[in-house]
Amino acid sequence: MALNLSDPGAIVAAYESIVDNTLNWLLLKYSNAQHDELSLFETGSDGLWELKQMIDELDQVFIGFYRHELSLGEEPIFTLINYIPNTVSGVKRARALVHSRRVGAVFKRHHTTLTVEHLNHLSSEAIRSSLDGLDHPKYPSMGRTTSQPNQAPLAPIRRSFSETYAPYAIPPAPPVAKSASMFSSFMRRKKKADDSNDEDDDADPPPAPPKDKGKYGIQRTTVPYDNAVDISGPRVIPPRKRNGSVSDFAVISRSSSSDEVIIEPVRSEKPIIQTLPLRGKWTPKVIDPEERLRRTREAQRQRLIEEQEALREEEERQAERNRQREAQIREEKEYEARRRASLEEEVRRMTAERKRKERLEKEEEEQKTREFEERKRLDRERRLLEHQKLEAWRQEQVRLADEAARRAEESRQREEDERRKKISIAEAKVKRKGAESLLTGWVTIQASGSLLWKRRYFKFIGSTAYFYRSPTDTHQILEKVELRGKLRGLREWNEGYEDLEAIPHSFAVEFKDGQKWWSMYADSEEEKYKLLGLLHHAAGL
């Protein structure tokens, strides 16, 4: 899974800008269909929100580098972000993760790696959680691991067949749980020995490993009945020849509920497979300092040659790409020149055609302008004549309206004079006679703010009006109203009470408080004017 960078200089410059606090994020994207070349897609300095906005193709793989700022005084978190949507196949996902690790080798300042499948999972909390989980990575549980011994107690070991029938044999050692610490301790011993070889190259080869001192039973003599097989006893497994295997230097034991593993002694016959020579501290030949220095310089020279060869190949590849790019740019320039010449010719032709059309349109426009001016003059004369006629008709209508208003005002004034005269006559009768029949009667009342009309029997005593349910219920007063100095006036429907126009013998009583009025109507015109006279007399209007 080789990885190429289309412009390493730009990518490294963007990375250094993020480290230097000039920018705070960058995005890399595959630039070809083979998904083996990454190019710098976008950079920014407005934080994680801007980075998420730049990921517009949600089905593509993006690799980002982001600097997450913490509180004042704390070092920022440099995070390597892998956006791999769940629509990507498994092969492309694995390739993207491998490429991400190689990009991480270039971006050495990153503290953690965050892989997300959706932009909603990319947040500051997720970055901090990924940093907190570095010491305890979450891997799927696979049961017992090789780094921890089995905590379950071992079953009792059955005695072997050889121990029962061969008392002269050394009893086998109990099985030891295999652990990954053997390999790690072996590697530490090997590293320590290599360091000691660096200090003293003339030292003798290390001695043979010591014997196990009775911890592991190894038979020294031939067991009777060598060809017999005992099912109930332990199984004898011959040792396997290993070439360069770590297990040659470790003790292998096995235990189960039904069998044991016993290591057989190495036979004296010549091994069939030729063993390879050991290296490092196990080599029987001591390398002198001059030879070791020569080999080191040879390795350095070879590495320098390989690096120079890699640089030369990279320069050739970049030169080839530059040549291809220059050829492409040259072709584009030639194509652009041909296209520009064609466009200029097309522009000249279209300019001549446009000028010809403009000349024809101008002549046609002048003809239309002359015709329009003639029509406008005729329309002006016609409108002037119509305006004169309309003005004469309007003046006639104004005169007729004034005449009608004058007649209506005269009629209203006559009606008002007649109404006042009738009220005065009714008031004079009350003052002169004072009979009870003139002081009582029926009326229907609607108070202000109410939707209900109430029929009441009224009786005036002095300046006070009493309202009863009926003539027989005069002992129970429903409402008592003092009218002296309280009334503003008695109004007809055309004085602002148009709701009473459809009700015959109706009128309105206004009070001086400005918020209360009564709407009333009587059974006849005579009753109406009698009530108006009583109200006029009681209120002192």
Q: At 97, which CATH number?
A: 3.40.20.10
**Domain limits at 262?**
173-178+189-222+230-267+278-287
Q: Which residue has the higher pLDDT, 84 or 184?
A: 84
pLDDT band at 226 (very low <50, low <70, confident <90, very high): very low
Q: Which residue has the higher pLDDT, 105 or 210?
A: 105
522 in the same domain as 446: yes
The answer to whether residue 227 scores a pLDDT higher than 50 is no
pLDDT value of position 436 = 63
pLDDT value of position 341 = 93
517 in the same domain as 442: yes
**Range list of β-strands (E), 357-463:** 440-447, 454-461
417 within some domain: no
Cβ(248)–Cβ(222) below 8 Å: no
pLDDT band at 82 (very low <50, low <70, confident <90, very high): very high
92 in the same domain as 193: no
pLDDT band at 331 (very low <50, low <70, confident <90, very high): very high
pLDDT band at 207 (very low <50, low <70, confident <90, very high): low
Q: Which residue has the higher pLDDT, 233 or 503?
A: 503
Q: Which residue has the higher pLDDT, 277 or 129?
A: 129
pLDDT value of position 223 = 43
* Average pLDDT score over residue span 385-412: 90
Q: What percent of the chain has pLDDT over 90?
A: 26
**R_g of the chain computed on alpha carbons:** 58
Q: Which residue has the higher pLDDT, 167 or 83?
A: 83
521 within some domain: yes
Distance CA 84, CA 97 (A): 9
167 within some domain: no
CATH number at residue 520: 2.30.29.30
Instruction: Report the C-alpha dihedral over residues 212, 215, 217, 218, rounded to 10 degrees.
Output: 0
317 within some domain: no
* Average pLDDT score over residue span 57-65: 90
Mean of pLDDT over the chain: 76
Q: Which of 378, 358, 335, 528 is nearest to 444 (CA)?
A: 528
Q: Hey, how many other C-beta atoms are within 10 angstroms of the C-beta on 116?
A: 16
pLDDT band at 172 (very low <50, low <70, confident <90, very high): low
238 within some domain: yes
Cβ(476)–Cβ(468) below 8 Å: yes
102 within some domain: yes
115 in the same domain as 17: yes
The region of weakest confidence among 10-19, 87-96, 156-165, 447-456 is: 156-165
Model confidence over 267-291: pLDDT tens digits?
545 555 555 555 555 655 556 788 8
Cβ(59)–Cβ(87) below 8 Å: yes
Q: Which of 426, 434, 454 is nearest to 541 (CA)?
A: 426
The answer to whether residue 222 scores a pLDDT higher than 80 is no
The answer to whether residue 258 scores a pLDDT higher than 50 is no
The answer to whether residue 187 scores a pLDDT higher than 70 is no
The answer to whether residue 25 scores a pLDDT higher than 90 is yes
- pTM reported for the whole predicted model: 0.29
106 in the same domain as 210: no
> Domain tally for the chain?
3
156 within some domain: no
* Average pLDDT score over residue span 85-103: 90
349 within some domain: no
Cβ(241)–Cβ(197) below 8 Å: no
pLDDT value of position 208 = 59
Model confidence over 486-512: pLDDT tens digits?
888 888 888 888 888 888 889 888 888
194 in the same domain as 80: no
Distance CA 172, CA 250 (A): 17
pLDDT value of position 349 = 93
114 in the same domain as 35: yes
3-state class (DSSP) for residue 176: coil
pLDDT value of position 137 = 42
128 in the same domain as 11: yes
What is the CA 235 to chain-centroid distance, rounded? 65
* Average pLDDT score over residue span 195-220: 49
Cβ(106)–Cβ(15) below 8 Å: yes
199 in the same domain as 118: no
* Average pLDDT score over residue span 419-445: 76
* Average pLDDT score over residue span 138-163: 47
